[in-house]
Amino acid sequence: MQNGEKRPRAVPSDREIIVVGGSAAGLFTAASVARGGRRVRVLESKPQLEPAPRTLIVTDHFRSQMGASARESIINEIRRFELFTDGRSAHIALTRPDLVIERSRLIPALAREAQQAGAALSFDTRFLGIGPNARGLRVAVESGGKREELHADSVVGADGAASRVARASGWPPVETVPLVQAIVRLPKDCPPDTTRVWFVPDDTPYFYWLIPESPERGALGVIGEHGRDTKRSFERFLEKKQLEPLEWQGARIPVYRGWVPVRRRIGNGEVYLVGDAAAQVKVSTVGGIVTGFRGALGVAQALLHDGKSHELGALRRELGTHWLIRRALHHFRQRDYSQLVDLLDASTRQSLGEINRDESTRLLWNVVSRQPRLVLLGLRGLLMGKGIKS
């Protein structure tokens, strides 16, 4: 803190905060707020934490966010990307490895951190509704089959893209897209430290990926726009690659279409949204762990410092850059992806390897300065679709 700079006024520590949802972003919020001296209670609808297994890939920024406990959820490190389209390929070596994490390990680690920080976890407690009371907010829940009413000054909705808290508090619904993923035996020609990405715009405006979990197994997946079409395309892709699914994973992923204001007042209380509930997802790659943690940190700052949060402003700028990239890519045809791969010369690939995708603005400017023709390709993508409909 610089000399003469005023420290934000901390809110009195006797006021309770309720976090709805034992998600990654919700538990990260609870831990951050509890460390700041506030009383926090996390409501989880399930009888216990039973996160569905899902293989995820994040940048090494995750390590600095999670600290020592990050090790528990990391199952592999990725040091190279291979991009494929229409017979062309490009290889990108990463200066700092990406991390493959298992969601079913991450959530318990975050829950333990939240409890160690002083947060309370209430299981088998389902959120029903919210409204004002004399001091702040009343929260209707069903706990153990019985209806109860809780009271808090602030509520944080961390209950996913179909957030009940958001709906009850007046936020519009968040659009989602289907993610389909299969655990497969890793092909013999795929190194266990290399992620493969295929651009097949006839199947999806996003991409297919193969993320190694170990030398034996990997997660092959795709994001599409329509569930049935996505599954059919994915099955054809599996057959083409001669891969058999060992198990299936799936989810609905929120799509960022512009900044979702994360705070609303209800009477004398405040409601916040974090993570998927606020569509805090990098829409360029549809990854949400690191950005969800940043949203959680921003909301924690606001709760601890009377509404002030520099992290939320920085996150808004970051998500806006990913939105710009997605708008440029979303209507690419096969020839555009072929040209994109052809334009990834040694200098451009070096930038992509040195600057991770959680520094999107720096990455974008660095790449286009080294390969200016990418600007024209991106503009053509924007003009083809005139942006994604809002």
- The CATH H-level (homologous superfamily) assignment of domain 79-101+176-254 is D-Amino Acid Oxidase, subunit A, domain 2 (3.30.9.10)
Provide the whole-model pTM.
0.91
CATH class of this structure's domain 16-51+104-174+256-311: alpha beta
Span 244-253, average pLDDT: 94
Amino acid 281 reads V
Q: Tokens in use for 243?
A: 């891969």
Extents of the domains making up the chain: 16-51+104-174+256-311, 79-101+176-254, 324-385
Q: Are 179 and 250 in contact (CB under 8 A)?
A: yes
pLDDT digits (tens, 9 = 90+) for 291-344: 999 999 999 999 999 999 999 999 999 999 999 999 989 989 999 999 999 999
Quote the pLDDT of residue 382.
60
Span 245-273, average pLDDT: 95
Q: Which residues pair with 283 in a beta bridge?
A: none
Residue 174 has pLDDT above 80, yes or no: yes
pLDDT digits (tens, 9 = 90+) for 85-132: 998 999 999 999 999 999 999 999 999 999 999 999 999 999 999 999
Q: Report in angstroms the alpha-carbon separations of 377 from 182, 208, 332.
A: 33, 21, 9
